[in-house]
Structure 1
C-alpha cells in the first residue's frame, strides 16, 4: 500500500527515451500518450535565466562543449526544451520529477512551476540532504526529494526517515535494489514518500511495486504502465 493509498506514480525517465530522443518534447508527449502518470528530467538554467531540460547540462560538439549556464537560451540546440515549453506542449495533468543538478536553478524552477499552478505536483530532487533542506526554506509549496542510497545513510534508514520528516522533506528516492518492504514501512511511518529508480524490467518493477513504493522510475513506459496495472484489484463481474 502506498503512503496515500493511491496508485504509484509511473515516472517516465527522461520521457519515453526508449522510443524517442531523451529529454525532448516528443519524448515527453509520447510518454504521456503511453500512460505515464509522471515525467522525469534534469533542470538547468541558461545564462539569461531560462529553465531548460537536459541530462548533462552541456551542449556543443565534443571539443567545444559549453555549460548550459554559460549559454543564452537562443543559442541552445533546438531539441532542448524549456520547462515552460514542456507545460505548453503537455499541459499540467501529470507529476513532474526534476533533478535540479545546478542549485542555482532552484529559484527559476520554482517560479515556473508556480506560474503553471503545479507546485504540489512537482518533485525537486538532489543528492545532498543539506541542499534539499536549504530548498525547504526557499520554497514551502513544492515537493522535495532526498536522492541517495542506503549505503550513504550514516543515520540509518529509520534515522533518515525521522530526519526527513523533521525537515519537511517529502520523499526519499533510492535505487530499486535498496528497497525492502520494511524500509518502505519505516519511511511511511514517518510520513515520507518512498520512490524507486532504475526499474527497467517487468521482474524488477513487480518486485519494487510489491514493497508498497509510492513511485517508480524507468526508461520503458509500456513496462511501467503494465506493472502498475497489475497492482490494480480485479474488477468484479
Structure 2
C-alpha cells in the first residue's frame, strides 16, 4: 500500500509543498509524495497548491510569472528531483495549464525522465479526468495515470464494471475516490477494479481509523496529511532523501 504524504504532510508551522516538507516526509518513512504542478509563464513546472502568490490586492498567478520571479520557497520540479532523488512514488495533480492538460503533463514527464530515466517516470502518477488521461496515454507509455473522480461519476458512467472497462481501455492505472466514498457496501468494488487491472486509491484519509479501514478494503494507495499515522498503517519505506537515492 502506497502512503502518499499529501503536500509533503508538513509539520505544524511548516509550509506545505516545500522541499523541507517533502524531505521530512521521506525521512519519516512515507513511500510516496503528493503535490500540485503548475507551469510558469516560461513553461517551468513548479509545485504549489492554488497557483496564486502574494497578499490580497496584489495576488499574481504562477502561470503569469516567469520562474525567476517566484519566491525561493516555491520549488521547481527540477529542484525537487535534484534534492530528493527518485526512489519514491510521486502523485501530481496538474493545475490550471493555460494550454490544456497535455502540455503540462509533457513538461512534467520530461523533467522526471531527465532526473531518473524511465524508472522515475514509472513512479510518477499523474491525476486528471478521464478525457484528459485518455488523450494523453499515447504520448508516453511509462507514466501511470490516475482518474480522480467521484462515485457519482462512476455510477453515471454505467457502474463500476463499465466505468472500469473505460479506464482500462484508456490505459488508466488507478481510480482515486475520496475516502468517505469508500464505504463498507463499496468495499467489494476494489476486487472488481483489480480484476480489470485497475488500482483503487483513496484521498483525504486523515484518521488512523480511516487509514486502517481502507487498508482492510485492499486499496493500493492512500493520501494523508498526517505523516505518523500514514506510516504507521502503510509501513515505512525507509527512504534516504537525496540524489543518491
TM-score (norm 2): 0.87
Aligned residues: 222
Counterparts of 1:62 and 1:157 in 2: how far apart (Å)? 44
Does the aligned pair in 2 maintain the 1:18–1:219 contact within 8 Å? no
SS of equivalent residue, structure 1 residue 134: helix
1:125 aligns with 2:147: no
- State the match for 1:35 in structure 2: 29
Give the Cα separation in 2 of the matches to 1:67 and 1:139: 29
TM superposition score normalised by structure 1:
0.90
Q: Which residue of 2 aligns with 1:224?
A: 230
1:11 to 4, 26, 44: 4
- Out of 72, 75, 83, which is 1:81 matched to? 75
What 5-or-longer segments of structure 2 have no aligned partner? 237-245
Q: Secondary structure at the match of 1:186?
A: helix
RMSD: 1.3
- 3-state SS of paired residue (2:50): coil
Moved over 3 A (4+): none
Alignment of 1:1-237 (within 5 A): 8-19=1-12, 20-101=14-95, 102=97, 103=101, 104-116=103-115, 117=117, 118-126=120-128, 128-153=129-154, 154-155=156-157, 156-179=159-182, 180-229=186-235
Hey, what's the Cα distance between the residues in 2 that align with 1:166 and 1:229? 32
Instruction: Tell me which of the two structures has the higher relative contact order, counting C-alpha pairs closer than 8 angstroms and 6 or more residues apart.
Output: 2
Range that drifts further, 29-38 or 160-169: 160-169
Which residue is 1:3 aligned to?
Answer: none
CA contact (8 A) 2:134 2:170 kept: yes
User: How far is 1:65 from its partner?
Assistant: 1.5
Bigger Cα displacement from structure 2, 158-167 vs 25-34: 158-167
For structure 1, list consecutive stretches of 5 or more residues without a partner in the other structure.
1-7, 231-237
Residue 160 of structure 1 deviates from its aligned partner by 1.3
**Using the alignment, how far apart are the partners of 1:228 and 1:183 within structure 2?**
20
- Cα distance in 2, alignment partners of residues 225 and 92 from structure 1: 19
Deviation at 1:70, TM superposition (A): 1.0
Alignment partner of 1:17: what SS?
Answer: coil
- Give the superposition deviation at 1:158: 1.6
C-alpha displacement of 1:191: 0.1
Q: Deviations over 1:128-169 (max 9, x none)?
A: 211111111222220001000101221222211111111111
